[in-house]
Amino acid sequence: MVISCVNEIEQRGLCEAGLYRLSGSYVQVKDLKEEFLLTNMVPVLSEVKNINTVTGLLKDFLRNLKEPLLTFRLTQAFMDAAEVSDEENSFSLLYQSISDLPKANRDTLPSCSCVTQ
């Protein structure tokens, strides 16, 4: 679901103002989510007229994870990395925290060539 949503957003939504700020149709998000849960197949997102509905579906999915992508265990490490005033050390701690994430979580984050896997 995540990959399909991100691909659709990248194909037609990157120039939209308020892309992740606006939610789109709550009813459509709910219907798309139910369709996915019932069929275990990703709905055809190219048929969804409002790209904000696709971003709303992605946000709903991420919001309802049992554990956040950055995990409860590593929350403090990410917060500590953000508070380091030396940029080089901050990045180093951030990259270390990312590498400590479970593979699935790490793979879901936006790609960055400087993050080792």
- Tokens 């798309």 sit at which residue? 32
Please tell me the distance from the alpha carbon of residue 30 to that of residue 64, in angstroms, as a whole number: 13
> Mean pLDDT for the chain?
90
Tens-digit pLDDT profile for residues 44-89:
999 999 999 999 999 999 999 999 999 999 999 999 999 999 999 9
